[in-house]
Chains A and B, each alone.
Chain A
């Protein structure tokens, strides 16, 4: 069973389009995250949701909007895609009941904007 899954794995689209990436975790974790990894492999946190509530919202253009329908899902919607949005996007989850535990990552979604 896949612990953290993302769809799609690859996404190629044109500038100006709107796209979504879906993430699901079956680990029973209470917190989920979205990260962006650029071409230099730098990992940057974008959002974090704990039990469906937004707890981290880094400096990300408001074209990016996370949606958490329940604590097992955290989707990422991107409006008006730009060339600079091309990157690999990782979803992750962890348990955070007063401690800091490791995050488990999905396989990543490689977004290419042309």
Chain B
């Protein structure tokens, strides 16, 4: 069975602090994909990143970086020098071709950046 756990329900940081959002996943598939989505207060779901199980390279995009570690089944997301606009709910998701490409979302982490 596929499962994604985001243990941090809510996080508050002061602007310019770094923050890491944790994501732990469970799957028996060898081929799978991991995703992060952002849901700002306006409500839309914005795709941030897709990573496949064969690519463990970390990725950096501006202030955002992702750390994929198969050994610990984790795909953590770090925001450097956080800004108020980063305030949102962040979802981690897992999908695998063997399960019809269905997305399994975590319960989300609500991040509040305090000015």
Using a CB–CB distance below 8 Å, which chain A residues touch chain B?
Answer: 31, 33, 40-43, 45, 48, 55-56, 88, 90, 92, 94, 96, 98-105, 107-108, 110
Contacts and interface: CB of A to CB of B under 8 A. Distances in A.
Contact of B97 (A43, A48, A98, A103): A98
Question: Would you list the 5 A-B pairs with minimal beta carbon distance, nearest first?
Answer: A105-B45, A43-B105, A100-B33, A102-B47, A100-B95
Contact of B103 (A55, A103, A107): A103
Nearest to B35: A102
Residue of A98, A101, A104 ringed by the most chain B CB atoms within 10 A: A101
Given A103-B47, A105-B44, A108-B43, A48 B91 contact: no
B101 A31 contact: yes
Nearest to A41: B108
Given A105-B44, A110-B43, 10 more contacts: A40-B107, A41-B39, A41-B89, A41-B108, A41-B110, A94-B101, A99-B97, A100-B33, A100-B52, A101-B50
Interface residues of B, number: 24
Interface of B: 32-33, 35, 37, 39, 43-45, 47, 50, 52, 89, 91, 95-97, 100-103, 105, 107-108, 110
User: Which of A42, A103, A107 lies at the interface centre, i.e. has the most chain B CB atoms within 10 A of its CB?
Assistant: A103
B43 A107 contact: yes
Nearest to B37: A105
Contacts of A48: 100-102
Contacts of B95: 100
16 contacts: A33-B103, A40-B107, A41-B39, A41-B110, A43-B91, A43-B108, A56-B100, A56-B102, A90-B45, A92-B45, A96-B101, A101-B50, A105-B37, A105-B44, A108-B44, A108-B45
